[in-house]
Structure 1
């Protein structure tokens, strides 16, 4: 691997070789992986703790309860409208600016809202993660995945955007239908809920009344919208991520405490209470990152990538495109970073596509699908583990809920890839083979 212009390590095609000897990992190495994993995932861990503390401050002002009451008045009789709105909006945000961990602040709010509507936490998580995963999978111009993959594949950035726009709504509808179908079943027969017998992370006592949304609450909500606007602007123009976003939420927490008249002592105590409730979630995130570290230390990532890519040279172009989807999906378990996966796999998949007749634009699309959709279910995804941990949803139950959705999305993705290959999607921007050969020869 060599450093590219951006300083990231990228694979050089044709350089795979088997090393003569490697150092075997010992039990002591495994034990060291755990603290290293916590250090590697510290940005997500501390962001989750900060968000939990700040939301506890907001709850203490009564704003969250008042907002839930207002939304109940609007969506109480039509949860399908709420589900579609959340899936659509979150998918749009992930598709355009690559939001993911930014959804964590909404988890407890949606769990509380679903609880008030006599739905379960699975519905709340389903809305969030379906939007997040589908947005990444069919992204029009996500700067962390699509644009990086297109640059590595040496095709114009933003090219082929018309197809990604065209498939956005159909894929969103697949996610919405899956969550809504589950919700209908739970409404008709509450005992069929996948969360039956599992404690809710919120107070188990039903809340029958909510405070009215007054001027102070509206001011706090306005400051929250302003904080989100600042965060989105920072992400889009300044390259902000979780450290900066954590600072934005701390600032919003201070503003909320002042507007809500909590006082310094009460605000500090509420913040500590909020963070303490999410310690288990923080541990889950660290352990999830440790799985990927073991794979890296064992030097098996590139072996997996190389071995999986070889069979594609023996099948048709259409099947090769679907094979790329399968490979990217599997590899996302070991490389949960979207940009990291692009730097490892696209330098191999792009020239491989040239050999088997898969346009590079289609190879990029297969990478998008494989990375985005599998983010919804892989246990090494720190953001996913943070969301389900905060909502109190066991991974085993989430896996049962999400696996059928992933199967639907993968089937739809395979059909799109086959059609895209047949109709020559991306051939208008395909690099000339001579140029590819010259680049490979160095």
Structure 2
């Protein structure tokens, strides 16, 4: 009996992701009780965008969140995140139809046979693709479904689920963070700062190349270590429970599967063109993937009921990941409903304004980095902070291009480790990787990326702009 008690005491079960996020909701709710309520005035600019009016901060009546209100924020967060949640369901359903044709398994079976002994090179190829997508048309949430593809591929090639997840997440966010023409971050921030859209692209492109190169090297070094000795994988035990297949045992592509693969590639090309040329966002992208699923079902000669069943199965696999996004949004709801989000912004802005001129750009960078834990949305953070950071930079002698650069690095880096980042938490849930294991693996890269961001902002401030 004593042995059984001792064994049960030794077993520690890490809290479910919903428990972690709900704990953050409670913690933030408690903290807001000690933060004075206040708000900035806002106005609609010529582009129809609501922006903060600098110098208009004033105290307002406190509106502390009640006990029952805490539980209501979950539903409100789900509603606010509904676009992303249903986007995940629709895209997941479309990929469910694709997976039912076994096209990806056959494609990677063919690829694996050509990459025997060279499997490591699939990592830079995948990361480059997703980084370009993040840097050009702002891919972020859209990358989530690809986790379903890359994790099994990584396992087939002798890596682990961390490598499969990192190839997508680190890849896409290296582009999103160091973007040279992301319309949702650089575009919005430069518009608010009254700069020509995507100006300074050549400098940003060089920063992006360095940032991406370091990120690829970090993932490849770990992947090589796992390939040589699987026991060195951080998620070795978890991956042993997964159903695995040998890449060399996979069938090669049939003619029908080649057509299906062509539909997938055309979908991705259409996604890039639609976002960059037509300004597509979540609704249009979801429609595109749904069309892809229907076409794949037809080409694959699947019966109508089979298409529907595969779609539902694809949705089922993403239920956890989709709902995680709503839980993450609940934290923002608390800050909004208690009127404390503007107070936090006002306080950190005052701190930055008191720094020496040489450190002012770094102060703006640190401010934006902290702010992203509160406002995970890139375009939302730009709309909230840039109307204040722009005139602040003018007063401190920081060029507006540098202010935009400080914003984009401060906004982007934490997206691959902050528990309030909905895309990250959804991706980890889909990949079945615990948040603790992910942090254990990625924290050295995070330090490197923050250091690179500080170096880039300093170089821009002192030597370029």
TM (norm. structure 1) is: 0.91
Q: Which residue of 1 aligns with 2:54?
A: 13
Pairing 1:157–2:197 present: yes
Q: Which residue of 2 aligns with 1:306?
A: 346
Q: Which residue of 1 aligns with 2:426?
A: 386
| TM-superposed deviation, 1:9 | 1.9
Return closer, same or farther for 1:298/1:192 CA change in 2, 3 Å cut-off. Answer: farther
Return closer, same or farther for 1:200/1:244 CA change in 2, 3 Å cut-off. Answer: farther
Q: Which residue of 1 aligns with 2:292?
A: 252
Q: Which residue of 2 aligns with 1:412?
A: 452
| TM-superposed deviation, 1:201 | 9.1
- In structure 1, the gaps of 5 or more residues are 427-442
- Measured in 2, the distance between the counterparts of 1:138 and 1:418 equals 15
Q: In the alignment, is the contact (CA less than 8 A) between 1:201 and 1:391 conserved in 2?
A: no
Q: Which residue of 2 aligns with 1:196?
A: 236
| TM-superposed deviation, 1:199 | 5.2
| 1:160-239 aligned within 5 A | 160-198=200-238, 203-204=243-244, 209-239=249-279
Q: In the alignment, is the contact (CA less than 8 A) between 2:360 and 2:398 conserved in 1?
A: yes
Higher mean C-alpha displacement, 175-184 vs 71-80: 71-80
Pairing 1:126–2:166 present: yes
Q: Which residue of 2 aligns with 1:3?
A: 44
- Measured in 2, the distance between the counterparts of 1:50 and 1:303 equals 38
| 1:273-422 aligned within 5 A | 273-422=313-462
Q: CA RMSD in A?
A: 1.8
The superposition leaves residues 65-89 of structure 1 with CA deviations (integer Å, 9 ceiling, x where unpaired) of 1012022123342233111111212
Q: In the alignment, is the contact (CA less than 8 A) between 2:193 and 2:386 conserved in 1?
A: yes
Q: In the alignment, is the contact (CA less than 8 A) between 1:51 and 1:104 conserved in 2?
A: no
Please state whether the residue corresponding to 2:187 is helix, strand or coil.
helix
The superposition leaves residues 202-232 of structure 1 with CA deviations (integer Å, 9 ceiling, x where unpaired) of 6356676211111101100111112222222
Return closer, same or farther for 1:53/1:246 CA change in 2, 3 Å cut-off. Answer: same
- Measured in 1, the distance between the counterparts of 2:241 and 2:142 equals 20
Higher mean C-alpha displacement, 199-208 vs 365-374: 199-208
| TM-superposed deviation, 1:93 | 1.3
Higher mean C-alpha displacement, 277-286 vs 202-211: 202-211
- Measured in 2, the distance between the counterparts of 1:296 and 1:200 equals 43
- Measured in 1, the distance between the counterparts of 2:311 and 2:241 equals 16
- Measured in 1, the distance between the counterparts of 2:241 and 2:380 equals 33
Please state whether the residue corresponding to 1:198 is helix, strand or coil.
helix
Q: Which residue of 1 aligns with 2:39?
A: none
Q: In the alignment, is the contact (CA less than 8 A) between 2:112 and 2:119 conserved in 1?
A: no
Q: In the alignment, is the contact (CA less than 8 A) between 1:52 and 1:105 conserved in 2?
A: yes
Of 128, 131, 134, the residue aligned with 1:91 is 131
Q: Which residue of 1 aligns with 2:107?
A: 67
Return closer, same or farther for 1:253/1:170 CA change in 2, 3 Å cut-off. Answer: same
Return closer, same or farther for 1:3/1:150 CA change in 2, 3 Å cut-off. Answer: same
Q: In the alignment, is the contact (CA less than 8 A) between 1:135 and 1:372 conserved in 2?
A: no
The superposition leaves residues 251-279 of structure 1 with CA deviations (integer Å, 9 ceiling, x where unpaired) of 11111111111211222222222211221
Please state whether the residue corresponding to 1:396 is helix, strand or coil.
helix
Q: Which residue of 1 aligns with 2:147?
A: 107
Of 54, 66, 69, the residue aligned with 1:29 is 69
Q: In the alignment, is the contact (CA less than 8 A) between 2:108 and 2:247 conserved in 1?
A: no
Q: Which residue of 2 aligns with 1:432?
A: none
- Measured in 2, the distance between the counterparts of 1:386 and 1:74 equals 33
The superposition leaves residues 180-212 of structure 1 with CA deviations (integer Å, 9 ceiling, x where unpaired) of 122122223322322122258963566762111
Return closer, same or farther for 1:227/1:201 CA change in 2, 3 Å cut-off. Answer: farther
The superposition leaves residues 295-352 of structure 1 with CA deviations (integer Å, 9 ceiling, x where unpaired) of 2112221111111121222323332111111111111111111111111111111111
Q: In the alignment, is the contact (CA less than 8 A) between 1:200 and 1:392 conserved in 2?
A: no
- Measured in 2, the distance between the counterparts of 1:344 and 1:233 equals 29
Please state whether the residue corresponding to 1:2 is helix, strand or coil.
strand
Pairing 1:272–2:320 present: no
- Measured in 2, the distance between the counterparts of 1:52 and 1:335 equals 26
Q: In the alignment, is the contact (CA less than 8 A) between 1:72 and 1:113 conserved in 2?
A: no
Return closer, same or farther for 1:181/1:216 CA change in 2, 3 Å cut-off. Answer: same
Q: Which residue of 1 aligns with 2:21?
A: none
Of 17, 35, 39, the residue aligned with 2:79 is 39
- Measured in 2, the distance between the counterparts of 1:79 and 1:205 equals 15
The superposition leaves residues 93-152 of structure 1 with CA deviations (integer Å, 9 ceiling, x where unpaired) of 111111112222321111111010121111011111112211122211111111211121
